[in-house]
Amino acid sequence: MRPSEDCGLCSLCTGRTKLVLPSGDPSSGIAFVGEAPGESEDLQGRPFVGRSGKILDKMMAEEGLDRSRVMITNTVKCRPPKNRDPTKEEMAACRRFLDSELSSCRLVIGLGKSACRDLLGYEGKMGDIVNKRTFITVEGKEIAFIPTYHPAACIYNKEAREGLRETIRTARGELEAGN
C-alpha cells in the first residue's frame, strides 16, 4: 500500500515537493528505516540521497553491502518543515504505509532515535540500545529489529560510526544467509 500522490492524511502534505517512497529491493527481506525525508529527498522523491544518504552509501560500500540489495524507507513520506523531527501524529498518519512496506521483512533496522521511537516505542538514549536485536510487531507478525545510529550522527561521533558499521555488517550477513 502506498499513499496517493494527493495524500493529505497529515499537515506534512502542504510543504512537500514529492512523496518519498522506498528505494532498493523490497523483496530482500531487509529494510533500513529513517525518520523523515530531508530537502534533497523531497526534491528527488527518493530516501537517503542527501548528506546522510552519502554517508550511508559510503559506509555500506565499505562494508560490502550495495544499497540496491535492501529496501530503504522512512517513517513518514513527506519532509517536515525545517527538517524537524516528525511528530507522533505525523508518524501515525503514515504508519499504515510503513507497515505495508515492512510486513514481508525478516529484519528491520531503525536509523536514529525518531525511527526507533516510532517502530519500537523507545524514548531513551540510543547508546543503550544500538545493535541490540529485539522484535517489533508489524501487521501481527514478529520481525527482528536492530536499532542503530542515524548516518548524520556519524559525522562527528566515532561511537556512532562504529555502531552503524556493525549494523551494516549484520545486515549484509543476514542478506547473504537469506539468499
Edge-first strand listing for the sheet containing 134-138: 23-24, 71-74, 30-34, 107-111, 141-148, 134-138
Which domains are seen in the chain, by residue range? Answer: 11-178 (3.40.470.10)
Residue 87 has pLDDT above 80, yes or no: yes
- Give the pLDDT band (50/70/90) at residue 179: low
Q: How far, in Å, CA of 34 to CA of 147, rounded? A: 11
Q: Which residues pair with 134 in a beta bridge?
A: 145
* pTM for the predicted model, two decimal places: 0.95
**Per-residue pLDDT tens over the stretch 45-68:** 999 999 999 999 999 999 999 999
Mean pLDDT of the chain: 95
**What is the pairing mode between strands 30-34 and 107-111?**
parallel
Helix (H) or strand (E) holding 172: helix 158-178
